[in-house]
Copies of this chain bind each other. A is one copy, B any other.
């Protein structure tokens, strides 16, 4: 019997985290598995160079056997916020394996914050309506004596005037110590109640924090809310670490059905991401995750199932049946989430297929728009795009596998919305004019830039209606038989990129058309076209119309509401009424399965090209 391999630990001082490395995984994969906020646009394949770290202390190997002296540190290191790829000390985390305990510094630009967490309805200073699931009660109690030796639980319950409440086991384990921490003569404690159960015993004055999580396929956004005031304290996002097992849902489901350990990979990645966000957010406001007394998570059905540890095999193949749709309260500890002892996590209800709680929360947050008379369409653009058509008081919902292209993912020069990302492209005097985030030199394209670029290339006829890049054009280059349109030095759109956008927009447009067809409605009858999603907040609607992503409706019918799922989730966090309303909305949605319909393919092919005639629009 050989001794098991020693397990090394990675210490990240700036992030105040210490994690354990498994086997031969890279620093990048360790970090991701543990929900650490390291950027990794390519998912750790070594192609993007965004996961830059410095090994301050400890021994490592390069996976391609770089000489060890490459890896030594020196003291006159470059300023930490300038990543100089040629320098010795800054290295790609995805190329490094650990040979001892190490201390790691992450380059500031490789510290991920979500693609614009501010891109949501309401602003950072929003105050949410308060009707929370968890209430706090401050108690001052006489200490136990020989003549009053009631149990600690009875003493608390009687003081509350609620003798029949239950007490969560985890909370009960902390009760006796919490009571006696206050002193001998009198005891003081803050008691937290969720429904018919006490879930926490804490010192007087301790904070009641709530966490709202939008668990997206590509990004995880979390919002920390003060549950006593309804004030949003902080927000933060990271790339979903599950992307290591595939950018799209089907890849992840295929991984998960490989066995219990594979399913656990995905569950643990989601759990680590949420625990990491909770830790970082609480630290940022001078608190700790033990003060989180309630949480709400929304995600599509696959995200929901993977987080709860529900099987996903049946979700990935016809008839695409979920294990569970109903709104669910799980104990945080049963999910592996480290909040206060008896904290629960409320999972927003699902609708059907992949249409899950994130779409329900988006509908909840946009109800003021679609609840008016007439016909509305709510579209949450993401790696999976959910669409609801609201017509005649009925809601029909469908999901389209649009892929990450519209968010800049799996695009050769795609990047997240960070400094240097091309975010706007327009045509002036027959030439491309680009605008980058932070007005830096262009280094890649974010989602809105991809969309604009395509529209501009179409307008200049560099890309034709069938999506072909023109052969004979000064801005087109060709390498290895692959054509690419050059937008700026080093920033290009390849033929593959055009195809990816075509597939995405055709899938979405097909979803819209089939839903409309079910109700016998023409596109022009859509009174309100509500675009949700962090990405949707930044796109240029006209470009979307130009490339055929959206129907050609008057501009005033479009509403861009940003991350509505995030807002809806926050509302559910602070309000039981909002949870009840979300359940009603989910129950009212009729799920429409598109993928198995005979007309799907034909409609999809109809939309695969770009509009032959450019819409009326002044240049």
Interface residues of A (CB under 8 A from B): 1-6, 8, 100-101, 144-146, 148-154, 166-167, 169-170, 172-173, 175-177, 180, 308-311, 313-314, 318-326, 328-331, 333-335, 350, 352-353, 591, 593, 596
Contact = CB atoms under 8 A, between A and B. Distances in A.
A324 B145 contact: no
Contacts of A329: 166
Contacts of A326: 151, 153-154
Contacts of A173: 308-311
B330 A169 contact: yes
Contacts of A100: 1
Given A176-B310, A330-B169, A151 B321 contact: yes
Contact of A149 (B166, B311, B321): B321
A609 to B, nearest CB: 30
B1 A3 contact: no
Given A152-B321, A172-B323, 6 more contacts: A149-B319, A153-B323, A153-B324, A153-B325, A169-B334, A176-B313
Given A176-B313, A308-B172, A4 B4 contact: yes
B350 A151 contact: yes
Nearest to A9: B1
A617 to B, nearest CB: 41
B324 A149 contact: no
A177 B1 contact: no
B325 A151 contact: yes
A144 B309 CA distance: 21
B8 A169 contact: no
Contacts of A334: 169-170, 333
Copies in the complex: 2
A589 to B, nearest CB: 13
Contact of A146 (B3, B154, B309, B319): B319
B6 A167 contact: no
A323 B176 contact: yes
Contact of A311 (B2, B150, B166, B177): B177
Contact of A322 (B152, B319, B331, B333): B152
13 contacts: A3-B3, A146-B596, A149-B352, A150-B325, A151-B321, A151-B324, A151-B350, A166-B329, A167-B324, A169-B308, A169-B309, A169-B330, A172-B310
Contacts of A591: 149
A122 to B, nearest CB: 31
A593 B148 CA distance: 11
Contacts of A167: 324
**Most B CB atoms within 10 A — which of A154, A173, A350?**
A173
A189 to B, nearest CB: 13
B6 A314 contact: no
A324 B173 CA distance: 10
B176 A144 contact: no
Contacts of A170: 334
A40 B274 CA distance: 48
From A100, A101, A150, A151, name the one whose CB has the most chain B CB atoms within 10 angstroms.
A151
Contacts of A145: 319
Given A149-B352, A149-B593, A314-B180, A323 B5 contact: no
B325 A154 contact: yes
Contacts of A311: 173, 176-177
B314 A146 contact: no
Contacts of A146: 318-319, 593, 596
Contacts of A350: 151
Contacts of A6: 1-4
Given A144-B319, A144-B321, A150-B321, A101 B314 contact: no
A421 B6 CA distance: 52
Contacts of A596: 146
Nearest to A352: B149
A451 to B, nearest CB: 33
A5 B3 contact: yes
A542 B318 CA distance: 77
A177 B180 CA distance: 48
Contacts of A308: 169, 172-173
B101 A1 contact: yes
A334 B166 CA distance: 15
A271 to B, nearest CB: 13
A349 to B, nearest CB: 10
Nearest to A325: B151
A1 B20 CA distance: 14
A266 to B, nearest CB: 14
Contact of A172 (B172, B176, B313, B324): B324
Nearest to A329: B166
A601 B153 CA distance: 32
A328 B151 CA distance: 13
